[in-house]
Structure 1
Amino acid sequence: MTYDPNVIRTNKAPQPVGLYPHARAVGNLLFLSGVGPRKAGSKQIPGVTLAADGQIQAYDIATQCRSVFENVKTILEASGSSWMNLVDVTVFLTNMKDDFATYNQIYAEYFADNQPCRTTVEINCLPTPIAIELKCIATINDNTHL
């Protein structure tokens, strides 16, 4: 694999579930790959209880929201950016009807001082047993990592 200084990977965030980086810098823009609520260094998903067959038995959307927002912060910081530099957020929910109100309330807590553009869509499922994933675009203040 060749080294690309514009590709960002960090051990402080959950490992991607495919062949893609945590983020990629292009000029002063930073594009994050889809980020879920898993904990770094493990397969643990905060707020999720799995049945013996690996299917979701129960989940707490509030816990997952907080975890995914913290994972996004971690990737932004590892990339030379910050939470305040977010300019666009796409949110994927697997249960808009039941989860939107809670997600929207927690989103408002995290984005009280920074209000990027936002799109929220419901999808059938995600590749791991999670209920929320974010796709983000931010600006980069510090290009020293490039």
Structure 2
Amino acid sequence: MSGADQDRSIHADAAPKAVGSYPHARRVGDLLFLSGIGPRTPSDNTIPGNDYFADGRLRKYDIEAQARAVFANVRAVLEASGATWDDLVDVTVYLTDMARDFKAYNAIWAEHFPDAATAPCRTTLGITALPTPIAIELKCIAALKD
């Protein structure tokens, strides 16, 4: 593989557009670094499970819907990058309400990674906000075999 192929940015058509000027992922050698991936729906930018007041303020959200959507979006970026789910080696999870959402998120994580021995490493952080009205975001690193 040439040096140009080893160091490149990736934009995944099947993933939501970035909310800033950055790629979905960047490959450097055998490592793939994903930018923060949220649960927005790629086709229309909506956020699964969000319910809004008439004035546009967020009324409530469904962490399970958002967690499932964020995993689907991560998978889309991995696939666009030539990687697979099994290539993930490290995941940082950002939750805006750790006390409320960790248990439900953790259960969905276990569905996607049922074997702890082969699951990627994971760090989960409770934060006060994300740049859009989402409750979860994942930052991932994958190791590519090729």
TM-score, normalised with respect to structure 1: 0.91
Matched with 1:7 is 9
Q: Between the two proteins, what is the percent identity of the paired residues? A: 58
Aligned to 2:142, which of 111, 131, 138?
A: 138
Aligned to 2:96, which of 85, 94, 97?
A: 94
Matched with 1:60 is 62
Root mean square deviation of aligned Cα? 1.3
- Could you list the structure 1 runs, at least 4 aligned residues long, displaced by more than 4 angstroms after superposition: none
Q: Distance in 2 between matches of 1:81 and 1:141?
A: 9
For the residue of structure 1 that corresponds to 2:73, the secondary structure is helix
Deviation at 1:16, TM superposition (A): 0.2
Matched with 1:77 is 79
| Number of equivalent positions | 139
Unaligned runs of 5+ in 2: none
TM-score, normalised with respect to structure 2: 0.91
Task: Verify: 1:49 aligned to 2:43, yes or no.
Answer: no
Matched with 1:40 is 42
Q: Distance in 1 between matches of 2:95 and 2:60?
A: 15
Matched with 1:104 is 106
Task: Verify: 1:121 aligned to 2:137, yes or no.
Answer: no
Q: Distance in 1 between matches of 2:23 and 2:56?
A: 26
Q: Distance in 1 between matches of 2:93 and 2:20?
A: 19
- The one-letter amino acid paired with 1:123 is I
- The one-letter amino acid paired with 2:24 is H
Unaligned runs of 5+ in 1: none
For the residue of structure 2 that corresponds to 1:88, the secondary structure is strand
For the residue of structure 2 that corresponds to 1:124, the secondary structure is coil
For the residue of structure 2 that corresponds to 1:91, the secondary structure is strand
Aligned to 1:19, which of 18, 21, 24?
A: 21
